[in-house]
Amino acid sequence: MKHKLFLATAGICLALAILLICLSQGVFGKRPFKDIDGADIVSATVELMPPDVELEISDTEELAELLRSVVIYREDDSYKDYAGQAAVFTLIMEDGTAVEITDYTPFVIIDGVGYEAKYEPCQALNSYANALLSQSGI
């Protein structure tokens, strides 16, 4: 009986250790903007590079909805080795703070810190920025 109890306890401890390691490594991901609301954003712009165009964003609720879906994993600065289009979102929040979020699929850079990110939300942000460009007629 003692042997079975010891094995069960050891198994639970091992499972908890694995879970803690996974959480600390960001395996499951984090949603840094899960609580953002369109009303929290006073103003927003997006700069697309290329073509080096900056646009005002009037529908902050749609932007907030897209940002809520962003999932980041571990810090990763290897985005510097990639070539492609970046969409730099600059948000001025209700409390006066500024937040810069760069979508560089499959990376998200938040205030200068790069993260691996879930592909689909990144691609949705990029598509949104390019749709704004198309709608602007530039």
CB distance 125 to 70 below 8 Å: yes
Closest CA to 130 of 105, 93, 98: 105
Q: What is the pTM of this model?
A: 0.80
Q: What is the pLDDT of residues 59-70, one digit of tens each?
A: 999 999 999 999
Question: How does residue 15 score in pLDDT terms, banded at 50, 70 and 90?
Answer: low
Spatial separation of the C-alpha atoms in residues 98 and 111, rounded to whole Å? 9
